[in-house]
Amino acid sequence: MTSHQAPRQDVYSRVTAKIIASLEAGVRPWQKPWNAAHAAGHITRPLRANGQPYRGINVLLLWGEALEKGYNAPIWMTYKQALTLGAQVRKGEHGSLVVYADKFTKTETDAQGQASEREIPFMKGYTVFNVEQVEGLPAHFTAKAAAPHPVDRIPAVEAFIAATGATIQHGGNRAFYAPSRDLVQMPPRESFRDAESYAATLVHELTHWTAQPSRLARELGKRFGDQAYAAEELIAEMGSAFLCADLGISPEVREDHASYLAHWLDVLKKDSHAIFTAASQAQRAADYLHSFSQPQQAAA
Give residue-wise pLDDT tens across range 113-169: 777 777 777 788 999 999 999 999 999 898 876 654 444 447 889 999 999 999 999
Residues whose CB falls within 8 Å of the CB of residue 168, separated by 6 or more in sequence, listed in order: 161, 183, 184, 186, 202
The residues that bridge with 115 in the sheet, in sequence order, are: 109
d(CA 155, CA 216): 27
- When pLDDT is cut at 50, 70 and 90, the band that residue 297 belongs to is very low
Confidence of residue 214 (pLDDT cuts 50, 70, 90): very high
Q: Is the pLDDT of residue 86 over 90?
A: yes
Cα gap 39→297, rounded to integer Å: 34
Q: What is the pLDDT of residues 230-270, one digit of tens each?
A: 899 999 989 999 999 899 887 776 665 666 777 888 888 98
Q: Flag the least confident range among 38-52, 107-121, 282-296.
A: 107-121
Pairing of strands 134-135, 183-186: unpaired
Strand partners of residue 94: 2
Model pLDDT, residue 182: 97
Residues 222-244 as b or e (16 or more Cβ within 10 Å = b): ebbeebbebbbbbbbbbbbbbbb
pTM attached to this predicted model: 0.78
Helical spans, DSSP H, in 25-131 = 57-69, 79-84
Please give the Cα distance from 221 to 229 (Å, whole number). Answer: 9
Residues whose CB is less than 8 angstroms from the CB of residue 43 and which lie 6 or more positions away in sequence, other chains included: 34, 244, 245, 248, 249, 250
Instruction: Output the pLDDT for position 31.
Output: 67
Residue 169's pLDDT is 93
Per-residue confidence (pLDDT) for residue 95, from 0 to 100 = 96
Quick one: average pLDDT of 7-34?
A: 74
Exposure on the CB side of residue 284, measured as CA atoms within 13 A: 15
